[in-house]
Amino acid sequence: MRLNFASKRILIAPLDWGLGHATRCIPIAEWLRRQGCEIFFACDGYQKTLLQQEFPDNTFLLLKGYKIQYSGNKRMLPLKILLQAPKILFAIKHEHEWLQKTIKDHNIDLVISDNRYGLWTDKIPCIFLTHQLHIRASLNWLEKLIQKINYRYINHYIECWVPDFRGDFNIAGNLSHPAILPKVKVKYIGVLSRFKNISEALKKYDWLVILSGPEPQRTILENKIINTALQLTEKFLLVRGKPGSSEMISTPANCVTVNHLDTNDMEQAFADSKYVLSRSGYTTVMELLSLQKKTLLIPTPGQTEQEYLANHLMQQKWCYCCEQDDDLKVHIKKAVLFDYRFPRMPASSLEDAIADFFTHYLS
């Protein structure tokens, strides 16, 4: 049966928790657009700016994010997040109500929600995209409660798509492979990356630094990297993770700084750099592994998912990691000497997942 993609209007909505949720929507939106679908993006802030640069001709609908703020103190982060729970729940309620009107106003056929819990409805099929079926917490009782709430929202959707591989070979470990799955159909769709395999190039930089994530931790790491670069002779390219910003900062002579790079320029930056330093956000990890880049990961302090993922990958020798409070100068040298052993990545099954979904729900 030949599937008719061209007549479908699809709403894609990434969470505003760092840029990774937006960037991993790019290969999904790009593939659907090539099939003739009309894509609508629902977002605001840096996510909107980033996606508008990639898809300038598409329709953007204003949908406010959750506006999560981090603590500068690792130990205070769980309390900081907990105190924002009412704000998060209000945002979920708002986006759920917003969706009902938006479907009617724009004749939407399908919703793909990247970790936005309120974008479900009984009117049309809705997909929940996440790698984090198991949400880690510092306390066992809190982890069980969060898991219950997480699944309660996910089970409102028709399907849950997980950007990882099914089975023992996977990237996210028990984050994406918990003992108990949601009640809805779960599809493992493989790695999502906006980049192709990069060709070898003359290396202009020793280190490509990729920053992202909520404040104040983004700025704390940025300042630490700049101070470390002052003590080294290696050349750094610092991508600040601020699309649309014209802010200028002072950096040492061996550090080139840009606020943002689009997909093509970022792909070139990977080719131009020997090593990468970044947070251990899952989307960044997927892209780094698909490109087989030697990487130093620094998880956001207190963000249990990133801490687990960084250590999980280092145990397999896919990446090197250290903590933000460690001596960065020492660990940069250790990362260069680290015995990286990159996995052979299976092909993505995204296209099969989309085709199967269209066959069952949109044909």
Question: Residue 197: what pLDDT?
Answer: 67
Same domain, residue pair 137 and 187:
yes
CATH number at residue 282: 3.40.50.2000
Question: Token pair of 149, please?
Answer: 């709430």
Note whether residue 198 is domain-resident: no
- Contact status, residue 18 vs residue 213, Cβ threshold 8 Å: yes
- Let me know whether 147 and 98 are in one domain: yes
Q: How is residue 241 annotated by DSSP?
A: S
Range of the domain at 26: 9-192+348-362
Q: How many domains does the chain have?
A: 2
User: Does some domain include residue 1?
Assistant: no
If asked whether residues 232 and 322 sit together in one domain, one would say: yes
Whether residue 291 sits in one domain with residue 311: yes
Predicted TM-score (pTM) of this structure: 0.92
Residues 60 and 90 in one domain: yes
What secondary structure does DSSP assign to 105-143, as a single string?
HHT--EEEEES-TT---SSS-EEEE-S-SS---SSHHHH
The reply to whether 123 and 219 lie within a common domain is no
Same structural domain, 121 and 166: yes
37 and 182 within one domain:
yes
311 within 8 A of 357, measured Cβ to Cβ: no
Residue 311 burial (C-beta neighbours within 10 Å; 0-12, 13-18, 19+): middle
DSSP letters, 60-80, are EEE---------SSGGGHHHH
- What percent of the chain is modeled with pLDDT above 90? 76
Residues 22 and 125 in one domain: yes
Helix, strand, coil % in the chain, rounded to nearest 5: 40, 15, 45
pLDDT at 2: 55
Q: What is the pLDDT of residue 143?
A: 83
Q: pLDDT value at position 1?
A: 44
Domain assignment present for 343: no
167 and 142, same structural domain? yes
13 and 124 both lie in a single domain: yes
Instruction: Specify the pLDDT at position 131.
Output: 95
Tokens of 225: 């990297």
| Claim to verify: residue 278 and residue 209 sit in the same structural domain | yes
Residue 200 lies in a domain: no
Query: Left if phi > 0, otherwise alpha if psi is -120 to 50, otherwise beta: which for 292?
Result: left
Spans of the chain, pLDDT less than 50 = 1
> Does 131 fall in a domain?
yes
**Two structure tokens written together for 299:** 């998880």
